[in-house]
Amino acid sequence: MALPIKKPYESLSKYLERTLPGELESGKSRGKATADIMFEYNKEPDREMFLPFIWGDAGSPASGGGGGDTDADAYIAAVTTAGGTLSAGDETAIQTLYTDLKSNSLYTELTFMYPLMGGTPDSHKVEGLSPTDANTLLTWYGGVSQSLAHTSAGVDKTVANSYGYGTPNFSPSGVQAGIDDMTLGAYVSTAITNDAGFLISNITDAVNANTRNQLNIPFDGNKVYVGIGKANFAIYNNGSSAVGIWIASRTSSTSLSLYKNGSSVASKTSSNVGASLSTKNYSFLSADGSITSGNSFDGVVGFIFGANGLDGTQVGTFNTILQTYLTAIGR
């Protein structure tokens, strides 16, 4: 059965939402279905579809127009100014990411977002919500000597014992409303070998019993740990693969949930009373902001973000939007 024609100005995520169920029902694998949908979406549309928008009602040129999303434009400009390389497809995907987040009321829930685009250390420093704010720029430590590589896939730490890390000039207390209203998330594209992989934590504050902000992939026998506030971890026995979109969300003092690819995989209901937001700056890819730490994430990360506490429905929507974006940029 032929795929339906893309509607004028229909976003990729909306087109996927409209067409993917039918393709799966026809017996296609998810990968084959997604590839066919992407091919159809990227086909050049018939000119007649857009004639009313081009010529107006009476043959006169239509007024208006306008470019892309202004926040997406600002991020794209900051990445390229920093020496990053973006294809036309990358820029389209970034525009779609921003507009989809906004149309689903998720953009304003974000507290930080690092798409890690452009393929260079400087372009990977750029934060997506406030790309020109010096406080949001990541500082990378370790560099080549500690096997911290920057590629089109994101930040690559697949070499064993690589201790490089990045940190912004802000802490959870500076961007979050409260310890019981907080989300941490990341996309991991390559399996991990380390057994103490702190992907998100805080400088010199990783093991404080009441101010934890930890997403550990993997930790303690290939498990995934998340702690937001007190050391009441939600733990998922991950099995053999850490690849996927991981989202950890605390929405109350007794509700901490861990999601993989949009599905809930672990939760914790122990009380978080007495916990507080850390005043120490975030540390990405290392436990405590140290290139000598043994608690280092070893793998490839392609997206890092924080948000207010997201419920299960919001997590599912965010996961779909992010997966659409990652597919579009080839991650």
Tokens standing for residue 147: 């096997």
Encode pLDDT of 70-96 as tens digits: 999 999 999 999 999 999 999 999 999
Phi, psi angle pair for 56, to nearest 5°: 80, -170
List of domains in the chain: 1-66 (no CATH), 87-329 (2.60.120.200)
Residue 210 pLDDT > 90, yes or no? no
Return d(Cα 167, Cα 138) in angstroms, integer. Answer: 5
Q: What is the pLDDT of residue 50?
A: 40
Helices and strands: H and E segment counts in the chain: 8, 15
Residues belonging to the chain = 331
Encode pLDDT of 279-321 as tens digits: 999 999 887 666 665 677 888 999 999 999 999 999 999 999 9
Return d(Cα 132, Cα 128) in angstroms, integer. Answer: 9
Encode pLDDT of 256-271 as tens digits: 999 999 999 999 999 9
Whether the Cβ atoms of residue 315 and residue 258 lie closer than 8 Å to each other? no
H-helix or E-strand containing 190?
Answer: strand 182-190
Average pLDDT, the chain: 83
Share of the chain above pLDDT 90, in %: 52
Whether the Cβ atoms of residue 272 and residue 296 lie closer than 8 Å to each other? no
What count of other Cβ atoms lies within 10 Å of the Cβ of residue 324?
Answer: 22
Report helix, strand or coil for 148. Answer: coil
Return d(Cα 182, Cα 228) in angstroms, integer. Answer: 8
Q: Please give the biggest Cα pair distance in the chain.
A: 70
Residue 49 pLDDT > 60, yes or no? no
Write the CB contacts of 146 (distance below 8 Å, at least 6 apart in sequence).
162, 163, 164, 291
Residue 61 pLDDT > 50, yes or no? no
Return d(Cα 125, Cα 116) in angstroms, integer. Answer: 7
What count of other Cβ atoms lies within 10 Å of the Cβ of residue 299?
Answer: 24
Return d(Cα 311, Cα 103) in angstroms, integer. Answer: 17
Q: What is the pLDDT of residue 115?
A: 98
Residue 162 pLDDT > 70, yes or no? no
Burial of 218 (0-12, 13-18, 19+ CB in 10 A): buried
Return d(Cα 51, Cα 8) in angstroms, integer. Answer: 11
Return d(Cα 121, Cα 313) in angstroms, integer. Answer: 34
